[in-house]
Structure 1
């Protein structure tokens, strides 16, 4: 069994039987183990209400399994696919500005400051519950001093800086 803690409000994303992927910085690159969430127990800790997760791992010492052995005291990272019950929009965390704000580009290629309601914010990704609609374009990088209504040029991933300014029909 592996025991993990996470903030109590995140338990709405989990249910018993969920598959959990375990990784560790101390393991070789790409090494991982799979487990199953057995139960969630609320507990009070110094930093507030935490949920204690119990994760079952078959053959924890890797005697009959490929992969690293789980040792007492190992520091592990547990990741899981949540049981999402609503439509959420996923963005890179870098797209969020202080105050849970994003900058999106409207139909006229102008910046619009857009407050959002977060369902989750992690190191790499954020899940947006409210404030954005599917299909809207959100700025993820490249804004030094954005202003509401500022005209912007959208650069696609394969564009070079010189190509970004050459729209079809531009005569320079």
Structure 2
């Protein structure tokens, strides 16, 4: 027979222990919820705010930069051409493509034998004409004496014939014609010597010793070295911002030939009244003096090179200048106001390669968010990067 009375104390003990545990758990839960400080809730909210960096808005007067690509062309060039025919009998030692030729330098010499003989013959003809004029002048004196001895009046036409006026005019005309032929013969003889009309760079040559040339044949291509032009193109909408009276230098850079940061100075000299037929872009002309660096230590431009130009635009007054990457879609910007994100639409008046220029949309001292945000909601909570907070 089993004795159940011995288990009663054990069951009561287990029930008592369970009750104590239940009461302790309830008390612990009450303690947690009743003692949660408000400061911890604020900290949780602060931790949820997005961490950002900012930069202050600066308002002032700025000259934007218009970027334009252009081709280097000579401001002065000429095709050296023969003006008389003949055999090439002499070439200058410097008559080599790529060399610098000084103004007045003899480059090509043609056989001038025939032209020298023609000049001598013209000289003889001139002497003969002068002699004939002197003889006629003697006849004039004799005719005048005879007319005076005649002692009667005659009509003007008769008097002109008696005094041999037509013969005198004919003799004088013969002298003038002889002078002209002599001058032409001497000019042709001089044209057998082709010289450089200006100091330039010889780009090409077209003859050798012994070559037979005729008038109009190309002998060589010469370009001036004192100034070259850059024919640059830019959108027609940017023409309104060009200031041709501005003396600020146009900066020129050849990306293919020069190292980064190397620049040449030029000047905007004109806006061409036409657009490029292929690109439909407006064209401007930029001048660069001493393009080959012959008189300075400047890097040399290369004829035909495609170069980058930076043209100062008209001055913009009281505008905010912002890095292009900080301007968001649809010309908006992110600002931090009272630790909240504000998305503001900008009134953009000009853009260049680096900056966007804004009128009236921003105030000096406002803070532009420079951090890329994962969620962009107007009014979202923001907080400054600790480094910037300490710096401020």
The bucket for the TM-score relative to the shorter chain is: 0.7 to 0.9
Match in the other structure for 1:145: 375
Unaligned runs of 5+ in 2: 1-228
Confirm whether residue 4 of structure 1 aligns to residue 232 of structure 2. Answer: yes
Give the superposition deviation at 1:60.
0.9
Distance 1:54 1:167 in 2: 48
In the TM superposition, residue 85 of structure 1 has moved relative to its aligned partner by 4.0
The structure showing larger relative contact order (alpha-carbon pairs under 8 Å, at least 6 residues apart) is: 2
Structure in which a larger fraction of residues adopt strand: 1
RMSD: 2.4
Distance change (3 Å), C-alpha of 1:121 and 1:141: farther
Quote the offset at 1:47 in angstroms.
Answer: 4.9
Matches of 1:84 and 1:113, distance apart in 2:
28
* Equivalent position SS for 1:88: strand
Q: Distance in 1 between matches of 2:361 and 2:262?
A: 38
Change beyond 3 A, Cα 1:42–1:128: farther
Of 229, 249, 262, the match for 1:31: 262
Q: State the alpha-carbon separation in 2 of the partners of residues 130 and 124 from structure 1.
A: 20
Q: Is the aligned partner of 1:54 residue 2:285?
A: yes
Could you say which residue in structure 2 is the equivalent of 1:95?
Answer: 326
What is the correspondence of 1:66-81 to structure 2 with a 5 Å cutoff?
66-81=297-312
1:120 is displaced (CA, Å) by 2.3
- SS of 2:275's partner is strand
Query: Aligned-pair distance for 1:167?
Result: 9.9
Deviates more, 1:139-148 or 1:29-38: 139-148
* Structure with greater helix share of residues: 2
Normalised TM-score (structure 2): 0.38
Normalising by structure 1, we get a TM-score of 0.80
Map of 2:242 onto structure 1: 14
Contact 2:275–2:283 (Cα < 8 Å) also in 1: no
Tell me, what secondary structure is at the counterpart of 1:153? strand
- The one-character-per-residue Cα deviations of 1:114-164 (angstroms, maximum 9, x if unpaired) are 1112122234221113422222111223322221011212338xx2xxx75
